[in-house]
Structure formats: C-alpha cells, structure tokens
Amino acid sequence: MRRGLGLILMALVATPAFAVWVKLVAIGPNYAQLEIEQGAQRNVRTLRPGDDAPEGVRLLSLTPTHAEVQANGIAQKLALGQRMAPMALLQADASGHYVTGIGINGRQTRAVVDTGATGIALSRNEAERLGIAWQGGRPITVQTAAGPRPGHVVTLDSVQVGSIVLRQVDAIVSSLPDAPAVTLLGMSFLGRVEMKQQGNQLLLMQLR
C-alpha cells in the first residue's frame, strides 16, 4: 500500500480496546513526550524509540523535528504539537468503491462508503443478522431502485470503522429482505468524521 497520505496501515497489529488520541508535546535528544488520551484518561508518557506506552502506543523513530508513532493500528509521523486521531485508511476496489469491514453494535459486517446515503442503510435480513430490533424504529418511506418501500429509522449503539468508534448513529432498515445488497455507510457516520481522499485511498479521521 502506498504512503500517499503519510500513513502506514498496520493490518496485523492489534489495536487497543479503546482508541487513543496522541499529541507530540516535546522532543528531547533521545526521547519524545506524548500526551495520550484513552477514554476518560489523559497521561503524558516519555518514550524512547522502540518503547511502548501502557495505552498501546509505540514510539517507532525520532528526529529533531518529528516522531513516528504507532497507535490505533496505524503509524504516522507527527510534528511538534500535532495530534493523531483514531482513523481508518480505506483502499478503493477495482470499481472505485470503498468497501470495508465495520462493526455495528459489536457485530461485524461489510459496508460500502456512500456519501449520497443519508444514514447507514441495511436490508431487513442483515439487520436481523446483526441483532438490530428494527421493528421498534420510526417508520419512514425509503426510495429504492424498485420504487418507494417502507423502512424504519433506528439508532445504533455503536459503529466502528478502523479505530473510529461513534455512538448513537442513525440507520435505516429497509423492509426488503435483501436490499441494499451491501450495507451503505452513509452520512450519519461520515458526517461525523473528517474525510481526505488522495488517489485510490480514503482516510477517515475521528473529530473531537
């Protein structure tokens, strides 16, 4: 994978249970000081290259002006004062679509990024497979390729993409058992993250 966005996706590195925010606050002759936020905790850690912080952050390398830090499964070079947020780096498929694994209420599925979708959109069968109680949602009319169809708006407890975890995300469950064929990752999630596209890569970064 190219470094077009200045990042390396560490696909085989386990991420911590809670994503972390990392800020480079000081650079010494052979160490860096990192402000690390995880959940409600905030700590300043002094690390040398190769050291690991208890929050699952590693200092990979150090120069007089930058520190290369690995956190949330991604390595990134930080300048002094720069912050590293929970993120996801997506690669376009042959059709130019960004398809990725996501977690919905702790269960895994596949979704395609769709900025034209108001919310996360799921078929009835997929919602039931994921344990979503869609019957209690707010009834609406959904525009589909087959014409208007009934659907329900529900609020998902959590949606995870990469190391990004958002709470209370709206989703639309179609009455059709198999449409959409793939879950749509729409603006109820995408509108709450920063998106940067370069070439065939899409970087999602969690906002404060």
Pair 17, 56: CB distance under 8 Å: no
- Per-residue confidence (pLDDT) for residue 16, from 0 to 100: 42
Per CATH, is 7-84 categorized as 2.30.30?
yes
pLDDT of residue 7: 53
| Sequence-distant (≥ 6) Cβ neighbours of residue 170 within 8 angstroms | 119, 120, 153, 154, 155, 156, 188
The architecture CATH gives domain 91-206? Beta Barrel (2.40)
Query: Can you give the C-alpha Rg of the chain in angstroms?
Result: 19
| pLDDT the model gives residue 9 | 45
pLDDT less than 70: residues of the chain: 1-18
Write out the two tokens for 120.
């996360």
Q: Where are the domains of the chain?
A: 7-84, 91-206
